Amino acid sequence: SKYTKEDIIRIIRENDVKFVRLQFTDIFGTLKNVAITTSQVEKALDNKCMFDGSSIEGFVRIEESDMYLWPDLDTFVILPWHTRHGKIARLICDVYKPDGTPFEGDPRYILRKAIQDAADMGYSFNVGPECEFFLFNTDEYGHPTTITHDTAGYFDMGPSDLGESCRRDICLTLEDMGFEIEASHHEVAIAQHEIDFKYSEALSAADNILTFKMVVKSAADSHGLCATFMPKPVYGQCGSGMHTNMSLFKDGKNAFYDPDSESGLSEIAHQFIAGICKHVKSISAITNPLVNSYKRLVPGYEAPCYIAWTTCNRSALIRVPDTRGVGTRVELRSPDPACNPYLVFAVLLQAGLEGIREGMTPPPPVSANIYDMKEADRKKLGIENLPADLIDAVECMEADPFIREVLGDHVYTKYVEAKRQEWKEYTTRVSQWEIERYLNKF
């Protein structure tokens, strides 16, 4: 590993760090943190830092609430922004029970299990996410709005792009924290941006997404803007996705690449795609977790709605970009940045591994633009739709024992319960749309 306990204690002392944030997430991927002063750091590094799990959504009941945070030393970083009270560092933690076993409700543990299953088969799992987000104005009280003065579009440059200096700030901050930024650009919708960082092994990729969101939110704040990863904040505009690029490596080589096959894609890549296709509907409630997520997955906005894969266009759910060799990868285009990345990578990896273990064959790739096809033609080709809304997705999830298997009973039960409740709240509310449409007419 990158650091020892002693290294961290020394770095903290040498840099005059005053606080350390111990971070973890709840099952919905919300970042939680316990701040400690440096006097408590040795205790924390000895895995002796306790917190009350009953106050965290999706964790545990009062009777069994004591949880321990075990810092992952490799995640140590000094936050590069300045505060009046000295420097702050952070450590991402695994959550353990008092008996010293991992807590089943910790999303990082669920991903670790999937990674171990892959390792048992000789694979490591690499993920490169493309996170999109919006930068909006805040109102006079500093509250978020969906208002923007931005008028730029895809790949546009300043001065029309008011978010540009904020975006530049985000990139520099992330580089200070050790990220390799591959690209950053204005996205299709007004006020929408994308920043791509280099792929890494799945656990650190998921950690990076949490760090990324934290940095984006904080940079937006210091520019008087607000950042949102809500999947579809503005009707009639493109929503924000989190395209997920994946590959398996074996013995240091990309196992999706086969120079001897016509397409350059290996048998393993095909089997991995087959596994994802098989479970993609039941995975939707994880990759697209909100009521709002399904308002992004509609035709006309470059977001996928049909289950198909392709090597030659950008409209399909699963795309294999042209790159071969070490960059050979499978891109799943449905996930959105409101997801819990630990759970998403765990279910995707396990689905792909199942495809490999069972030697599955994917449906034939589709080269035509699926959005131009009539429904009857899609039916003929056996192209199914993704779930239409959150409740449809939850029902697909319940119909597939695979998800419960991967998440474990604890997270599965809490997740389904919470999502059903979210749906019920949504459907019983009277929306602005209803008022506009019905109030005067009836």
**Catalytic positions, please?**
52, 130, 132, 187, 194, 243, 314, 331, 333
Tell me: does residue 336 bind Mg ion (CB under 5 A): no
Nearer to ligand ADP by C-beta: 327 or 363?
A: 327
Figure out which of the listed residues 126, 148, 208, 293 binds ligand ADP, where binding follows CB under 6 A.
126
In the list ligand ADP, Mg ion, none, the entry touching 334 (Cβ below 5 to 8 angstroms by class) is none
Output the smallest distance, CB 242 to ligand ADP, in A: 11
Tell me: does residue 194 bind Mg ion (CB under 5 A): yes
* Distance in angstroms (rounded) separating the CA atoms of residues 280 and 277: 5
Figure out which of the listed residues 121, 183, 399, 435 binds ligand ADP, where binding follows CB under 6 A.
183
Beta bridge partners of 124: 249
Angstrom CA distances, 162 to 158, 165, 223, 235, 336, stand at: 7, 7, 10, 21, 24
Write the binding mask 229 to 248 for ligand ADP: x where contact by CB under 6 A, - elsewhere: --------------x-xxx-
Tell me: does residue 198 bind ligand ADP (CB under 6 A): yes
Write the binding mask 321 to 360 for ligand ADP: x where contact by CB under 6 A, - elsewhere: x-----x-x-x-----------------------------
Output the smallest distance, CB 189 to ligand ADP, in A: 15
Contact 253, 388 (CB under 8 A): no
Other Cβ atoms closer than 10 A to 181: 14
Residue of 278, 236, 299, 272 whose CA lies nearest to 357: 272
In the list Mg ion, ligand ADP, none, the entry touching 126 (Cβ below 5 to 8 angstroms by class) is ligand ADP
Contact 2, 72 (CB under 8 A): no
Nearer to Mg ion by C-beta: 314 or 437?
A: 314
Nearer to ligand ADP by C-beta: 74 or 302?
A: 302
Of 39-47, 123-131, 160-168, 376-384, which segment contacts ligand ADP by CB under 6 A? 123-131
> For ligand ADP, which residue has the nearest CB?
128
Listed in sequence order, the residues at least 6 apart from 232 whose beta carbon sits closer than 8 Å to its beta carbon are: 239, 240, 292, 293, 295, 296
Tell me: does residue 312 bind ligand ADP (CB under 6 A): no
* Residue 317 backbone zone (phi > 0: left; psi -120 to 50: alpha; other: beta): alpha
Figure out which of the listed residues 130, 150, 164, 336 binds Mg ion, where binding follows CB under 5 A.
130
Output the smallest distance, CB 291 to ligand ADP, in A: 26
In the list ligand ADP, Mg ion, none, the entry touching 247 (Cβ below 5 to 8 angstroms by class) is ligand ADP
Nearer to ligand ADP by C-beta: 148 or 245?
A: 245
Tell me: does residue 243 bind Mg ion (CB under 5 A): yes
Tell me: does residue 196 bind ligand ADP (CB under 6 A): yes
Nearer to ligand ADP by C-beta: 184 or 218?
A: 184
Listed in sequence order, the residues at least 6 apart from 379 whose beta carbon sits closer than 8 Å to its beta carbon are: none
Output the smallest distance, CB 155 to Mg ion, in A: 10
List interacting residues with ligand ADP (CB under 6 A). Answer: 126-128, 130, 182-183, 196, 198-199, 243, 245-247, 254, 321, 327, 329, 331
| Binding interface with Mg ion (CB under 5 A) | 130, 194, 243
